[in-house]
Amino acid sequence: MSTMKTEAQVYREAADYVRRGWTRGTFFRSFTGLPLTLADATDRKGDLRCCLAGSVHLASRGAGLSDAILFGMLTQHLDGETPSVWNDDPHRKKSEVVKLLIDCAEAAEEDERRGEEIL
């Protein structure tokens, strides 16, 4: 059964995944360093390191939101840079990835509030 989530909820959940463990070069890794598929990652949510894109994919499973919307917000916050390329920069820090996801969550919440004001 799928549970509907808001964009903000997806970004916050993705930030939680990255806080628990972050990686570069692949969507998911076990804590022992083995690359994982999305199916493997779904089964191992506690034993997992995610990249930026992987964390969003995992958090959005069953949420009913399009990748175009979710990754569009990330790309917008990165001034057009591809999220995976940005994540994989060798100088990137986990704290920067978490901050980006929280910034996107806050922007999505602001968009939701503005949408409610228009209605």
Rounded mean pLDDT for each run of 10 residues along the chain, 119 residues in total: 81 96 94 87 81 94 87 95 97 98 96 69
Residue 102: name the closest of 64, 55, 58, 57 by CA. Answer: 55
If phi > 0 it is left, if psi is from -120 to 50 it is alpha, else beta; for residue 12 that is: alpha
How high is the pLDDT of residue 117? 54
| Residue 103 buriedness (CB in 10 A; 0-12 / 13-18 / 19+) | middle
Amino acid letter for position 25: G
Strand-pairing partners, residue 22, are 50
Q: Which positions ≥6 away from 53 have C-beta within 8 Å?
A: 27, 71, 83, 84, 87
